[in-house]
Structure 1
Amino acid sequence: MFSPQRQSNGRRRHRPSARRTQVQPWMLWTAVILAVAALALGIYLIFLRPYHVDKNLTQLGFGPDANWTTTSDTLYYTQGSQLYASNFRNQEKWNTTTSTDGMRVSASSKQVAVYSDTQVQCYDASSNLKYAKEFVGAIQSVRCGDTYLAVHVKESSGLYRLVVLDAAGNDHNISLEGKYVVDYGYYQGDNLYLHTLDGLSVTPSAMIETMDGSLNSTGKISIQGQLLQNIVFFPDHLYAVGTNHLYDIGYVGDQRDSKLIYGWNYFGYVQPKNGEPMFAFVPGGAFSGSENITTVRLCSLSGSDVYIQMKANTRFVFMGNGKLFTIAESVLTSYDLTGKETGSYQLPFAPQKIHSVGSGSHIGLSTADAVYLLKLP
């Protein structure tokens, strides 16, 4: 039995193969153009988009007499017997009930404390109550570290004491005998500093004492013959802004550099991405009571000073976002650190007071009946 034979024309027959897709030049150019457009849009949105005050100004939910403070990203305030936490757009994160009305507030990035004349309540950053502590005497102020609190108390005898509360609310007393506390607080977590004056000295004698989280002494720096305007802390050294000199000092008291600033009042500093801090001053002495500011001095310890003539009716100057800002009536003006004007912006009101904000990217502005946060250009 024979099977049918396949006819052939002499050529082998191939099975059809998958067809390859060829990338056309126009496809490559389209992809490149879209990528460049996306990059250009990103640059515009981040760096070149015009700054509008109305899009960056937020009215807060309380008046100028409220108790409030900020960290780098959170606003805390009390109203009645409530403690509120919100973001910088005044959008509430949480709220909780406090023991009494009108408590004052202090905060760090890890915890927040409210206090009356006789009691401190400490919460974590998620509203959980850690402890409440009663005090004999009148509480003057409270400062928050990451896990510790420092409480300045005036006794009924008229003497003062400083009490440090640990994470469980246990108290540790720091002796203030013969000292007058000018300022105190936490830097870099739970490192505590005290700025005191020697109450027994004939001439001004300021002392900067630093302690670690276990209250072990890490430095005692004496500044003789002048008062201190401010202290700026860095990991291995600090800047002491005196009434006569600006000092760069190590924590063991070794003076690294100094600059004469007599006759100038400190109001802020910025840390450029590359380089040493730039400090800002306004005229002091006989001019410190002047209603308007005429000149701003920007200086670093090693560089040349920059003097900037202010516009007429300038009442406020402050540092933020790596720039110098001024407010004259209702006009906000920005300058870079060389003294060059970089922008001028109309505010919808003339502020009566400004408030520093922990992030450095915002400023608080008060009128007679409202408080605002302004995100800086």
Structure 2
Amino acid sequence: MSLADPAIPPTARAILVGVDFGLPHFDSELQELGLLAQTAGLTPVARLTCKRKAPDAALFVGSGKADEIKWLAEQHGAQEILFDQSLSPAQQRNLERHIGLPVNERTLLILEIFAQRARSHEGKLQVELARMQYVSTRLVRRWSHLERQRGGIGTRGGPGETQIELDRRMISEAIKRIRERLEKVKRQRRTQRRQRARRDSFSISLVGYTNAGKSTLFNALVKARAYAADQLFATLDTTTRQLYLGEAGRSVSLSDTVGFIRDLPHGLIDAFQATLQEAVDADLLLHVVDASNPGFPEQMAEVQRVLREIGADGVPQVLVFNKVDALPSEQRPLQQVDHFDVDGISVPRVFVSARSGEGLSQLRTLLATRAQTAMPGQLAPDYPDESDEGSA
């Protein structure tokens, strides 16, 4: 008898699976995978974790655990299996045959969320490029129509291209076309950045782990209405506005960028180079951290890793420990502003609540000091708001 709750739509049910290989920061509760599933519109109905020294070559988790996953799916009426780790195409195919259900991984889940959230022309191009790159690695005779076609006229003649080869060639051509269109968008963004540079605009980019509160902070600082929500990847498209700092007597350029996450697919990092270039070219990074999350050190480390990967690790940083209003009273900071060690470097840190406004005046003062120090004696006019939400 199925234990499925009829209140949950059958197509939304998912079993979450994680394997502990002894690596640091294993998410034993699969909390982040669960949030990703919910953000993508799925409902986790059961979670299963196990320990292994190494992945099973055929079924990743081994036949015994694969049987357990199949039984669990039957009991809960699940329609999909989600793994927290990356699967090889062969492992994915073997698991689907063994369990009898679609099997996917967090990479595809992230791609699905990005596809749902992308709004600008550039964002949609970037997601499509990453999706094509992902699909190109999955063409391993997974579908029944991937059979060898015969070449020539009639039934005779030598073997022609396999359907896999045709698909791979079409995907390769599609990737090339998308890259060309993205390069055009990059050129447009470079022109916009040069225009800001000519106006002596000091540029600041918000970076941080997804759901750290970047967009809420962005809205609080520039009084904008950029989309912000308590969910993963609420913002994908870079938005740039002018922020006037009275203490400095000048305006600075403030950009809100896509959030990072553990195991962010390399294809997405490559595809979002145009968006992340805002961080690379910034004069200052505001690294927003969710102070209320117990795992914030690991999240900070992941952000630093991605910054190194895109070449932005040399840009000066200010740490913004957000959501202090969610901290218990005994964990509240004694000082609003102090310093924190990041990769052996002492970095200024400000405790704020973007929601309540606590600490924002201290943050503005710190930003004004940085802007004055970087460009002494140069005052930029107070420009009207501008938005870079996809420029093609």
Q: Does TM, normalized by the shorter one, top 0.5? A: no
The structure that has the greater radius of gyration is: 1
- TM-score in terms of structure 1 length: 0.24
- Bigger fraction of residues in helix: 2
- Bigger fraction of residues in strand: 1
